[in-house]
A and B are shown apart, each in its own frame.
Chain A
Amino acid sequence: MITAITAGIDIGAKTVKVVILKGKDVIGRGMATTGLDQKESAEKAFKAALKEAKIDQKDIDRVTATGVGRMEAPYASSQITEVGADARGANFLNPAVRTLIDIGGEEGRGIKVSPQGKAVDFAINEKCAAGAGAFTEAMARALERPLKEFAELALKSTKSIPMNAQCAVFAESEVVSLIHAKTPHEDISRAVHDSIADRIISMVRRVGIEKEVMLAGGVAYNVGFVNSINIGLKLEVIVPEYPEYVGALGAALVAAEK
């Protein structure tokens, strides 16, 4: 029997991600920023993944699409919700995962995952930057530092200070006041990450937090955020390799099972 080659495409608000599977092995990944034309961005991400996999579009047996723009992929033979794809991907990476926290640039999700890799319950924050990656990006800009450097600063903090603002725009003003008050940037960074972690944890609490907990989405690369989540949850979350591809991986797995 020939091993099937399948692809999962995750068309999000900010980025498109593609994972190509040969059987159950990932052979290619590709990403593109979502531009004005979602179809065009999807094609770009797909090409990148094909190139990495060193195969042709015609070698792909089946495609499953997920993400808000999942209907923009007419070549997909099936679609799956972001939540379903996320749960499937997390389960594949680590079957012990019962809670998945997926934080992207514009959206945050908490998902309760069954041992079979199904989404049992979920909570979402969308359309508000306070509970998404855009929050930390805006704060890094207020401190005039690259995001990575800003995130790493949090680990050197010696003091935990509370932030009052629950809105990214108001938090920017608060960060500026903290800078003027000569607060060490390390402590400001910690405060910012604690504040978003606090909101995310409260949101995930609605679905119940059960070990193991996995952190997915681009924000999982942010070490300051991971640190604050670990402190807030009093446990160590699992951060997979390529955390932003968990949804696309889940979609590719669904395609492989069809």
Chain B
Amino acid sequence: MLANYGYKDGSGDYFIAIDTDKCNGCAKCVDACPQSVFEMGDDDSDPLREEPVARVSGEQRKKLKYACAPCKRYLTTLSGGKTEETMKEIEKLPCVVSCELRAINHSW
């Protein structure tokens, strides 16, 4: 399942997508993120799944634009969105790098 955490408001799209089929619950993203955006827990949207899965913490879901700001220095020169240049920068984010199974992606 593709879980899109975050929001879209007047200023833009701020989503972190976690592919729960790829996630093996290793929790490396939890340690990698300097802003404590990630947590491990039950898959809320699949009550039948037993194994824990990475999620964006409830507290951070509504402020990702601000929470992720320190890691996104590239936004000074790039306007965000899914351009080729932004995608290259997203690849270098600590959470994205930490996930060997490539289950994490950002929308901006």
Contact = CB atoms under 8 A, between A and B. Distances in A.
Direct A–B touching in the complex (beta carbon < 8 Å)?
yes
Interface stretch (A1-9, A31-39, A201-209, A233-241): A201-209
B69 A128 contact: no
Interface string A109-150: 000000000000111011111110000000000000000000
Majority secondary structure of chain B interface residues (helix, strand, loop or mixed) = helix
Contacts of B65: 125, 203
A166 interface: yes
Interface residues of B, number: 14
A167 interface: yes
Contact of A127 (B11, B67, B69, B70): B11
A199 interface: yes
Contacts of B67: 202
A202 B69 contact: yes
Interface in A178-227: 199, 202-203, 205-207
A119 to B, nearest CB: 10
A128 B9 contact: yes
B11 A206 contact: no
Given A125-B11, A128-B9, A128-B11, A205 B70 contact: yes
A126 B80 CA distance: 14
Contacts of A126: 10-11
Interface of A: 121-123, 125-131, 166-167, 199, 202-203, 205-207
